[in-house]
Chain A
Amino acid sequence: MTQLACSTLVVGGGPAGLAAAAAASGRGDSVLVVDDNAAPGGQIWRGGPASWRDARAIQLYETLQRRPHVRWLGGSRVTGAEHARALLLETPEGSRQVTCERLLLCTGARELLLPFPGWTLPGVTGAGGLQALLKAGMPIAGKRVVVAGSGPLLLAVAQSVREHRGEIAAIVERRGTLGLAWFAGGLALRHRAKLRQALDLRASLRSVRYLHASTVTEAIGARHKSGDMRLHAVAVERGVRSERIACDFLACGYGLTPSLELARLLGVKVQQGRIAVDAVQRTSLDGVWAAGEATGIGGVDKALAEGRIAGLDASGLDVPRADLRLRERALAFARSLDRAFAPDPDLRKLCRPDTLVCRCEDVPASALAQFGAWREAKLVTRCGMGPCQGRVCGTACEFLYGWEAPGVREPLFPVAGANLASVPLGEAVESDSIANAQSLSQKAEIHL
């Protein structure tokens, strides 16, 4: 297997990862940035440099482009680790072992996706999920879209739909006016620029139907001419009133949750669902830093500040006070988000006995509710044994039944069979040509 070596390995090429790479490479140390997307930017700057409008993204990218000692490895995932200084990657060219002196975890977050009737229908996506699909060119012109769930992301998603000439049938926000006003009040006191952003966004959407204290309780399907079921309408409840809204797409999300698989695999301390870090973003493991959404949801400002601090400290530089102040400010905003939009336990009631909780293995809630713990349920029902490896249903079960998140296992993502066979880390290094031949022979096979 081909080996790669670098001083600093940055896992995740979103705002935190790019900021960390820029800071860590300032003194000439070799930095490798690994990301499962082809282009840098993570989710918030998804779509690649050509589509970026955020000046901070462009500036970071320009800095990184000027540094030949920084390498980008897109379309690649960490699938295993011997320890924090020797990781296994699945790249478009086959597997690679990478060794590093320092590891920066900038693994970001994913959406909190909660089961409700009809959530498996084609046309139903996550809220950020639809935004990501749009950024990757999915056409939506003339389609009717309901944006639902909770949190500031909903307005941004609605805005993206509009930019792509989709029609917003309604924005359905779970929070009531009181909670939203409280959040806006908090912004007015401490984060004026953020409030202005939110108000501008809201103003640009003022002709759109906005329902608060309202919930999409069901996605309703109809048979499409292709013969398959497809989303057709949603049921919306507001107190005792309910209505049906016709739509082609439903983008529904209840916030974000940190991606912790690699941290857990390495044995990095995770506390309250986020990677625990000290004042300079060091984790509990020597030589491992973490930054961005993986240390707690807080948005792009927090990710940039933390990434920079982690990168500076990793390269042995002192962190200027100004950077620490920026991070403190971003963290205060993160805390107010947390308070205003924490998922409401009543959302559990949306999941009915026949609602599929595990989308990979089609396991309904009725088959799971009798179990007391994740492991037991998994052994009997196969819940969590599919290709998502419990990323969707594990988080859902944690929320629905209070089960502890499923443990991680290698490979962290589905891997082609021959790549698994070629593993043991530390094994003799093969030449590139052998590795390439291998990647050709493994194309028909995959281990799930």
Chain B
Amino acid sequence: MRVDTPDSGALVVHVDGVAVAVSAGMSVAAALARADILRTRRSVTGQARFAFCGMGVCQECRVTIDGVPHRLACQEFCRPGMNIVTGGGA
């Protein structure tokens, strides 16, 4: 059995257009917290939401990653140059 592991070292991602230095192996949710952004999506009534179950069940942590909407911030690891957009509705 072979498992690909995330790259090691420091890298930079962009959260809502702002560069954030993270370390390899950090989830997207972790990168948001590092940038003090406790917001992933907006609920149907406009409330800010953030990661809740931490394990890919509740779907609260949906963000847009590199143009792809509805990615789960708690399940996805940071990649160099990743472009993360928060505050998406629905």
Contacts and interface: CB of A to CB of B under 8 A. Distances in A.
Given A36-B75, A122-B39, A125-B52, A138 B57 contact: no
A40 B48 CA distance: 31
Given A48-B5, A126-B54, A362 B45 contact: yes
Contact of B52 (A46, A124, A228): A124
Interface string B2-22: 111110000000000000001
B82 interface: no
A111 B70 CA distance: 22
A126 B49 contact: no
Given A228-B38, A359-B43, A444-B67, A122 B54 contact: no
Interface in A364-390: 386-388
Contacts, number: 152
B30 A230 contact: no
A443 B70 contact: no
Contacts of B50: 122-123
Q: How large is the interface on B (under 10, 10 to 19, 20 to 34, 35 or more residues)?
A: 35 or more
Contacts of B68: 443-444
A443 B67 contact: yes
A36 B3 CA distance: 13
Interface in A47-72: 47-50, 64-65, 67, 70-72
Contact of A391 (B4, B49, B54, B57): B57
Interface in B40-54: 43-45, 47-54
A37 interface: yes
Given A125-B51, A226-B39, A359 B29 contact: no
Q: How large is the interface on A (under 10, 10 to 19, 20 to 34, 35 or more residues)?
A: 35 or more
A40 B74 contact: no
Interface string A17-58: 000010000000000010011111001001111100000000
Interface in A219-240: 224, 226, 228-230
B29 A138 contact: yes
A71 B3 CA distance: 9
A288 to B, nearest CB: 22
A138 B74 CA distance: 10
Contacts of A65: 1-2
Contact of A448 (B5, B34, B70): B70
Given A228-B38, A443-B67, A71 B1 contact: yes
Contacts of B52: 113, 124-126, 129, 359
A137 interface: yes
A38 B77 contact: yes
B27 A136 contact: yes
Q: Which of B27, B30, B54, B90 has the most CB of A within 10 A?
A: B54
A133 B24 CA distance: 15
Contacts of B30: 133, 136-139
A324 to B, nearest CB: 27
30 contacts: A33-B1, A36-B75, A39-B5, A43-B55, A50-B5, A71-B1, A74-B3, A110-B53, A110-B57, A111-B55, A122-B38, A123-B38, A124-B52, A126-B54, A128-B55, A130-B54, A133-B51, A136-B27, A137-B30, A138-B30, A138-B33, A139-B30, A140-B33, A228-B38, A230-B38, A359-B49, A391-B57, A392-B53, A446-B70, A448-B70
Rank and list the top 6 A-B pairs by shortest CB-CB distance, nearest first: A132-B54, A137-B26, A129-B54, A122-B50, A136-B27, A228-B48
Interface of A: 21, 33, 36-40, 43, 46-50, 64-65, 67, 70-72, 74-75, 110-111, 113, 120, 122-126, 128-133, 136-140, 224, 226, 228-230, 359-362, 386-388, 391-392, 414, 443-444, 446, 448
